[in-house]
């Protein structure tokens, strides 16, 4: 096989070891198969199911631990890990994971994770989780029930909430635009 053989599917055509121009090398085949979201979902579901078995979980954990110990003896692997640490570690250290930055990050993370819950009901959602021990689906069902009751009880209040939400979003967008302008 010559290196100039067309291989539209291979990432590194010169290094491809496939015997035919239309076939994938092992690496490219794995990339092509794992690019499918359906295949990834199927693999994830199978692994979740396997992890339910305590014996499998213990065996798998031991295999991973052994593989990491073996890799740690490889100087090339250690050099790559050190380079990654230098490249990404220093900027992260400079950014600082201080108490203040975590305090600021908390509400942002909550807002992202609870974006499907109206702002005025987020404390209620958290309370359902902590005190009642409901599942996520049950908590959402309760919150949706509260939303329906509020909408039927007061369309004006719902309109005010919508206007307030849009106003807050516009103000936040304007603050972000100003911050990025500097």
CB 119 within 8 A of CB 107: no
What is the rounded (10 degree) CA torsion for 36, 37, 43, 47? 150
Q: Where are the domains of the chain?
A: 99-182
User: Cα(145)–Cα(139) distance, rounded to whole angstroms?
Assistant: 10
Estimate to the nearest angstrom the gap between the alpha carbon of 174 and the chain centroid.
Answer: 27
Q: Are 16 and 35 in contact (CB under 8 A)?
A: no
Are residues 158 and 144 in contact, defined by beta-carbon separation less than 8 angstroms?
A: no
Whole-prediction pTM: 0.37
| pLDDT one digit per residue (tens) for the chain, 182 residues | 444 554 555 666 566 666 665 666 777 778 778 888 999 999 999 999 999 999 999 999 999 999 989 988 999 988 988 888 888 777 666 666 777 878 888 888 988 999 889 888 999 998 988 888 888 899 999 999 998 888 777 777 778 888 888 999 999 999 888 888 77
Nearest-angstrom CA–CA distance, 6 and 42 = 32
């Amino acid at each position: 096989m010559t290196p100039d053989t067309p291989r539209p599917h291979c990432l590194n055509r010169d290094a491809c070891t496939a015997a035919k121009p239309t076939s994938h090398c092992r690496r490219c085949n794995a990339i092509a198969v794992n690019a499918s979201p359906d295949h990834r979902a199927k693999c994830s579901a199978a692994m979740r199911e396997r992890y339910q078995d305590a014996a499998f979980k213990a065996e798998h954990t031991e295999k991973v631990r052994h593989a990491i110990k073996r890799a740690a003896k490889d100087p090339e692997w250690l050099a790559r890990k050190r380079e990654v640490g230098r490249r990404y570690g220093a900027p992260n250290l400079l950014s600082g994971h201080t108490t203040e930055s975590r305090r600021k990050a908390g509400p942002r993370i909550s807002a992202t994770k609870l974006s499907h819950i109206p702002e005025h009901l987020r404390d209620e959602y958290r309370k359902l989780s902590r005190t009642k021990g409901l599942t996520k689906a049950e908590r959402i069902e309760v919150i949706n029930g509260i939303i329906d009751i509020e909408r039927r009880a007061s369309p004006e209040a719902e309109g005010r909430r919508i206007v307030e939400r849009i106003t807050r979003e516009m103000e936040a967008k304007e603050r972000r635009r100003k911050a990025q302008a500097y």
